[in-house]
Amino acid sequence: MYKRKSTSTVRSSITLPILTGHRTKFTVLALGVSLFVNAIAFAQNTSDNEYKKPLKQVLAEVEAKFNVKVKYSEDMVEDRWVPYADWRYKPTAAKTLAAVLAPLDMKVNEEKPGNFKLKYYEYSRLTPEEGKEKLAYLSSFYTDKATWEKRKADLRPCMYEALQLSPMPAKPKSKPIITNKRVMDGYTIENIAIETLPGVYVCGSLYKPLKIKGKIPVVLCPDGHFGDGRYRADGQYRYAMLAKMGAMAISYDLFAWGESLLQFEGKDHRRSLAMTIQALNSMRILDYLLLLKEADPTRVAITGASGGGSQTMLITALDDRIKLSVPVVMLSSYFSGGCPCESGMPVHLCGGGTNNDELAAMAAPRPQLVISDGGDWSANVPDTDFPYLQKIYGYYGKPEMVANSHFPKEGHDYGKSKRLAMYDFVAKQFNLNIAAVKGADGKVDESKVNIEKYPAMYVFGEKGEKLPANAIHSFAELEKVFTAAKK
């Protein structure tokens, strides 16, 4: 018979049966206590502590289990823990990694089969499949011109509020600063700075035809995130060729790039307010250009690539003065732009959530050429984004007013083939003289454009010595100026 020991004594024991052909007693002193304590400790190190494991250890275990590789830098995994780590395993490595990283605001990209790269969570990026699903969902809001116009009417005021441009800040009364006019083969260049907020200047270069007769088109050329900013050669080709065809084209710095660095630090470009300042800069520049006697307000265009493509779609959606747009290598149903200057303000949360396809569609029925390539997020434009735009333009009975030039073997740039597509489209829609830039072989010839060195395009001198006395010199000052200008 089993004999129960008193549980009131500290030296508890357990009487266990051992079958060895006959019944005997086996008393284990303190073993019960030990098992009990170990059980408690195990519970505290598991569910009470969320079954935590170091992220680096978990990634190593996933690599071993699925025979895959995960690339990462040590700083990405240092002091990061995965709660309920062993409960997150799924049938595949991709699904397991997604589950493991979800609570850490991280993700992986599968660069090739079995090879993953660890990345921080990108709020502005979905998967292509999720982008298609979102586009289908957004499309369910409208089925004709009337329902689309209602959607657009809901989006636009929210976008202004999201940018903190409702109401618009007061406009400085200063005149633009114009310096260093150069005469080239068929065009002229002037450097220009416009005060967009008190003490805040945006700098650029204004290209005009050498000979101007009557009213001519205006083309805004916001810059993107390419090395050397607006000073790079492919930009200069573009601005000059538009001028040689009979338009005035203006290039201008991103916020906290180029000459804007005389006032702000490079890190300020990656602040959310940069998105607002860049939008405001485009509008203020257009305000000035449309005051020029030679400017034709019925022929105003905007074109830019990458971050400049984001600005192109945004400004066209916000401002009906834009009559034609050419966003380059930026349209995507699943990517809204990874820089805060493109998506830092909650514009894409308007209307219950929108995307760049809807922003681009807000151009309808104004002429629009979408330029895309096979090497970035615009790769799906021909199959996904462009048919959507054609549908919206079809609501107005003008599906032919939107076009797509796709370069499946090219990458993320505003290279020559893309520029040629833009020249043809703008020349056709705005009746420009494209023959003026064609050689004897009938092809567009960019060789007569003079590519300048950077200092020639500076407004404020090589060392910023000509910066106005009222110029502010910090982001903190900008925030104060911006707030004051809205009162």
**Dihedral angle sign, alpha carbons of residues 218, 219, 223, 226:** negative
Q: Report the alpha-carbon distance of residue 346 to residue 272 in Å, rounded.
A: 9
Cβ–Cβ under 8 Å, residues 434 and 245: yes
- What percent of the chain shows pLDDT beyond 70? 90
Calpha distance 388→460 (Å, rounded):
45
pLDDT of residue 48: 76
pLDDT at 5 over 60: no
| Cβ–Cβ under 8 Å, residues 365 and 393 | yes
Q: Are strands 200-209 and 216-222 parallel, antiparallel or unpaired?
A: unpaired
Q: Beta-strand (E) ranges in 262-332?
A: 295-305, 324-328
Token representation of residue 226: 């390419």
| C-beta of residue 117 within 8 angstroms of C-beta of residue 108 | yes
Strand pairing category for 13-19 and 23-29: antiparallel
pLDDT of 14: 37
For residues 189 and 182, the answer to whether their CB atoms sit within 8 Å is yes
Confirm if 122 and 335 have CB atoms less than 8 A apart.
Answer: no
Question: Token pair for residue 319?
Answer: 């401002």
- What is the rounded average pLDDT of the residues 22-27? 43
Say if residues 286 and 295 touch (Cβ distance below 8 Å): no
Write the pLDDT tens digit of every residue in 146-187.
999 999 999 999 999 999 999 999 999 999 999 989 999 999
User: Rounded to an integer, what is the distance from CA 214 to the centroid of its chain?
Assistant: 38
Q: Mean pLDDT throughout 50-61?
A: 94
Residues 6+ apart with CB under 8 A from 353: 134, 138
Which H helix or E strand runs over 389?
Answer: helix 386-395
User: How large is the average pLDDT for residues 212-235?
Assistant: 94
pLDDT at 180: 86
Query: In the structure encoding, which two tokens stand for residue 368, read together?
Result: 């629009």
The H or E element spanning position 477 is: helix 475-485
Look at residue 349 and tell me whether its pLDDT is greater than 50.
yes
Residue 46 is predicted with a pLDDT of: 59
User: Residue 118: how many CB atoms within 10 A of its CB?
Assistant: 19
Does residue 7 surpass a pLDDT of 70?
A: no
> Could you give the CA distance from residue 152 to residue 161 in angstroms, rounded to a whole number?
14
The answer to whether the bond into 297 is cis (omega within 30° of 0) is no
3-state secondary structure labels for all residues of 369-380 = EEEEECCCHHHH
| Strand intervals (E) in 92-186 | 106-112, 115-120, 177-183
pLDDT in tens, 104-123: 989 998 889 999 999 988 88
As a whole number of angstroms, the distance between CA 83 and CA 332 comes to 34
* 207: helix, strand or coil: strand
Residue 41's pLDDT band, with cuts at 50, 70 and 90, is very low
Give dist(CA 300, CA 281) in Å, integer: 16
**Backbone dihedral region of 259: left (phi > 0), alpha (psi from -120 to 50 degrees) or beta?**
alpha
Over residues 85-99, the mean pLDDT reads: 94
pLDDT tens across 436-485, in order?
999 999 999 999 999 999 999 999 998 999 999 999 999 999 999 999 99
What is the rounded CA–CA span in Å between residue 345 and residue 161?
10
* Matching residue, tokens 């056709």: 428
What is the overall mean pLDDT for the chain? Answer: 91
Q: How confident is the model at residue 241 (pLDDT cuts 50, 70, 90)?
A: very high
Residue 304 to residue 302: CA distance in whole angstroms: 7
Lowest average pLDDT, out of 24-28, 246-250, 461-465, goes to: 24-28
- Partnered with residue 70 across adjacent β-strands are 116
Tokens of 165: 């441009």
pLDDT at site 63: 97
The SS3 assignment for 37 reads helix
Q: What pLDDT is stored for residue 312 in this prediction?
A: 98
pLDDT in tens, 256-308: 999 999 999 999 999 999 999 999 999 999 999 999 999 999 999 999 999 99
Q: According to the model, what pLDDT value does residue 45 have?
A: 54
DSSP 8-state secondary structure symbol assigned to residue 288: H
Alpha-carbon separation of residue 149 from 145, 230, 313, 365, 390 (angstroms)? 6, 36, 17, 11, 15
The H or E element containing residue 402 is: strand 402-407
Return the biggest CA–CA distance within the chain. 118
Determine the distance from the C-alpha atom of residue 363 to the mean position of all C-alpha atoms in its chain, rounded to a whole number: 19
Cis peptide before 167 (omega within 30 of 0): yes
Average pLDDT of the segment spanning 396-418:
97
Spell out the residues 6+ positions from residue 125 whose beta carbon is closer than 8 angstroms to its own. Answer: 334, 335, 336, 338, 377
Give the three-state DSSP class for 263: coil
- Alpha-carbon span 487 to 485, nearest angstrom: 6
